[in-house]
Structure 1
Amino acid sequence: MRRRSFLAGSALLAAPALLSARPARAVVSAPEPVDVELILAVDVSRSVDAEEQEMQFNGYAAAFRDPRMIEAFVGGPVGAIACTFFTWSDWNIQEHLVPWMRLGSAADCERFAQAIDNAPRRVHLYTSISGAIDYAANLFGQGYEGTRRVVDISGDGVNNSGRDIGLSRGEALEKGIILNGLAVLDRSPPPPGLMQMQPLDEYYQERVIGGPGAFVMVAEGFEAFEPAVRRKIIREVADNRGPVREYAFG
């Protein structure tokens, strides 16, 4: 009898130790509300030379220092957006250069602009818009929750790498993602012997963009990139549903 009582007592003493040895549950914090989750996807394929790539990066950095942009970011119901920045080229090459940041003040925007200034510049080969869409679709839901999820795709060429763009576009739209485009046009005629391809602004309008209020901003060359970026992001944040296609000139 004593032995049985001793064993029972031992089990009771050991029980708290066993309970305390169980791993604690991870505390999952709720996502922070923002007006928009905005992804900037920037083309760095070989058709974008070093000078043009610098124009792109400088254009984005300058846009985030513009008081009009900051005013747009703080003017929504929440008073802030979440934004991130990556480059893309081949179907399997995407570089996430600026992590998600909450932008609700001039200081926040300056930090984002500085991160773009300091990001590495690298050029790759092909143009996989489908790969960029697939990559972007998996970046949402990382600490923020916006009333809209928007991917801003800038580039100067059509999809020539990876899977069919229609598949990537369709899957993104099914997830409620809005796809907007910034098409950088080269108005020079094609080399002799090459056929004239579909105009890039038409291609973006028909094959790339989609979702409520989706639109294409057209930059007439990289010289017009900075004003195009600024106008485009302000419109995306404000959800101002104007014409499907807009033009910016340098």
Structure 2
Amino acid sequence: MRRRTLLAAAGAAAGFRPPDPARADEPVDVALVLAVDVSRSVDPDEARLQREGYRSAMTDPRLVEAIRGGMLGGVAIAYVEWAGSEYQRLVLPWTRIGSQEQADIWATALDEAPRASLSWTSISGALDFSRRLLETCPFEATRQVIDVSGDGVNNSGGPAEEARDRAVAAGITINGLPILNDRPTFGRRPPIPLDIYYRESVIGGPGAFLVAAEDFEAFGLAVRRKLIREIAGLPGPVFG
């Protein structure tokens, strides 16, 4: 697979050091972009719950067992935060995880990475950025997946459906984790229930599925369920 030098994460705080990537010649079962919503509808407590959910899921022994049980015994993870069409940030670069120790190091780095909260919600921007990021993955992967989570519909940039179709045409599977927040976004209810919107407009590709989180408090459990399915390559669709 082509190798390219990754751009440094924009806005990273001085002194922050992401986990050291493993050797690029090590193959992986899946290259997975975790694309996480940090738009204005996500308050600081909710943003913290999202990160804690990913940290807890990634270090869960059941998830590590699923990783080690794969044909190649490793996954490549890149962690992205996104908001409006103008903002997508690579928080943690491509990192190979194949052991509990590597998962723990990754989780610590995520805890230490600077946070941001910005304006609108551009799922299309997140999908296009994640698709381009997968082109830079230095690890040969048998599957490529974008895992996009958020609590609102696309309201910035191009249509989410067109960005989804571009990713699917590139052989990428998009899975969704809609957060069914009990607060309306900017005082307005979404035009359709968010899980239905994700099913119709966001997810796509071979075996695509979604797992909905009832709220931010339930996010961690939903993340773990979803990551185990993605890493194990279990077939979709799953709704709820």
Q: TM-score, normalized by length of structure 1? A: 0.83
Q: Does 1:123 align with 2:117?
A: yes
**The one of 11, 28, 36 aligned to 2:30:** 36
Give ranges in structure 2 of 5+ residues lacking alignment.
1-22
The alpha carbon displacement at 1:50 in A equals 0.5
Give ranges in structure 1 of 5+ residues lacking alignment.
1-28
* 1:219 alignment partner, SS class: coil
* 2:81 alignment partner, SS class: strand
For residues 73 and 185 of structure 1, what CA distance do their matches in structure 2 show?
Answer: 28
The alpha carbon displacement at 1:164 in A equals 1.5
- Max radius of gyration: which structure? 1
Larger deviation, residues 163-172 vs 47-56: 163-172
Q: Partner residue of 2:225?
A: 231
In structure 2, the CA distance between the partners of 1:190 and 1:177, relative to structure 1 (3 Å rule), is closer
**The one of 76, 81, 87 aligned to 1:87:** 81
Structure with the higher helix share, 1 or 2? 1
The alpha carbon displacement at 1:196 in A equals 5.7
* 1:121 alignment partner, SS class: coil
* 2:145 alignment partner, SS class: strand
Q: Does 1:177 align with 2:172?
A: yes
- Runs of 4+ aligned structure 1 residues displaced above 4 Å come to 188-192
The alpha carbon displacement at 1:89 in A equals 0.2
Instruction: Give runs of aligned pairs for residues 14-163 of structure 1, distance below 5 A.
Output: 31-140=25-134, 141-163=136-158
AA aligned to 2:58 is F
Matched residue count: 217
In structure 2, the CA distance between the partners of 1:189 and 1:155, relative to structure 1 (3 Å rule), is closer
For residues 222 and 56 of structure 2, what CA distance do their matches in structure 1 show?
Answer: 12
Instruction: Please say if residues 207 and 237 of structure 2, whose CA atoms lie closer than 8 Å, have aligned partners that are also in contact.
Output: no
Structure with the higher strand share, 1 or 2? 1
CA RMSD of aligned residues (A): 1.8
Larger deviation, residues 135-144 vs 41-50: 135-144
Q: TM-score, normalized by length of structure 2? A: 0.86
